Amino acid sequence: MKKRSFIVPVLLMLVFITGCSGDNTNQSAKTANSDTSSITASKDSAKTAATNTKASNSQQGAEVIVKSTGKLSSKEKQAVLNDVSQELDTLVQTINTMEDASDEDLNF
Amino acid sequence: MIKKVATSLLIMIFLLGMGTLAYAGTDTGNTATNKAAALEQKKEALQQKIQNRQTLKADIQPLLDQIKANRAKILQLRAEAAEARTAATQHIKDLKADNLTDAQIAALKQAKESLKQARTDLSDTKGEIKNEMVIMKAARKEQNEDQVKTSLNKIIAIQQNRMELIQNCIDDMKQIQAI
């Protein structure tokens, strides 16, 4: 009886600790995912972005969380310019390929 | 006696022959009259057709003139769009990516979306005039004047919509030059 009364609280404690640490890991992982999407996007953006770094300790070790302020790298800026240029080309091509009524069609 | 009988027979045969010929002559006359009447009918039908065509042409001439004028205007807008594109592209080349401000980036992104939307809207009208022409030609063959007019009016509406869209594109391109 004494043994049982000792084992049950110990088991409960273990369950509680395991649950908390699991939850903590998930939360830190989520935060890292949401805040650091720009890190994986490019190294440049991570460098140029005004970064707020904070270390969060978890059981797996320290994680660096970088908060992006929306600054684009020069590569990304160039990509925007290229996109606009390409869109201009496609648009003019579309305008030039529109069909219209021919003289033959209008000859009554 | 025999001579008399033979003479009578010959006279009878002659008379019978003449009667047949006369009947044949009447018949040929009727056929000719019928043919002439049919020919006259055909002539009248042809004249009516020509008359209808001339009336239709007179009625729809203003619509045809409008379509031709719109077509010329669209060609002019195309040329303007090509010029605006050249200028906008040159401006984009002149912009240095490193020096772009946030506001310029936002304006460029906005311009891109606007151009994309205009392109989609224009593409949606592709083939509409061609389809309407098919309907119009069929109506013209059936001398369905109302349908011909309806189709021509639809073509004018499509052209006007396109003119508006192309003009918007030109304005967007000019805005890019100002970024």
Q: Any idea where the domains of chain A sit in the sequence?
A: 2-69
Higher pLDDT, B28 or B97: B97
Q: What is the pLDDT of residue B59?
A: 87
Residue B15 has pLDDT above 70, yes or no: no
Residue B140 has pLDDT above 70, yes or no: yes
Taking only the tens of pLDDT, chain A with its 108 residues reads 556 666 777 777 776 666 555 444 444 444 444 443 433 444 444 444 444 444 444 455 556 554 555 677 888 888 999 999 999 999 999 999 999 988 888 887
State whether the Cα torsion A37-B116-A84-B165 is positive or negative.
Answer: negative
Which chain A residue lies closest to B75 (C-alpha atoms)?
A: A96
Higher pLDDT, B108 or B24: B108
Mean pLDDT of B58-85: 94
Cβ distance A77 to B53 less than 8 Å, yes or no, reads: no
- Give the count of beta carbons closer than 10 Å to the beta carbon of residue A23: 10
Q: What is the pLDDT of residue B99?
A: 83
Mean pLDDT of B134-142: 92
Can you list the pairs that A56-60 forms with residues at least 24 positions away whose Cβ atoms lie under 8 Å? A56/A28, A56/A31, A58/A24, A58/A25, A58/A28, A59/A21, A59/A24, A59/A25, A60/A25
A80 Cα to chain B: minimum distance (Å): 7
Read off the pLDDT band of B126 (50, 70, 90): very high
- Give the count of beta carbons closer than 10 Å to the beta carbon of residue A82: 12
Does B116 contact chain A (CB < 8 Å)? Answer: yes
Give A44's Cβ-side CA count (13 Å radius): 8
B41 Cα to chain A: minimum distance (Å): 25
Distance CA A78, CA B97 (A): 5
A65 Cα to chain B: minimum distance (Å): 24
Q: Please report where in the chains the tokens 């009578």 appear, as a residue.
A: B8
Enter the DSSP assignment of B123.
H
Mean pLDDT of B142-153: 92
Q: What is the pLDDT of residue A65?
A: 58
Q: What is the pLDDT of residue B55?
A: 84
- Whether the predicted model's global pTM rises above the 0.90 cut: no
> Between B53, B81, B155, which is nearest A101 by CB?
B155
Backbone angles phi, psi at A102, to 5 degrees: -90, 165
Q: What is the pLDDT of residue B17?
A: 60
> DSSP 3-state assignment of A68?
coil
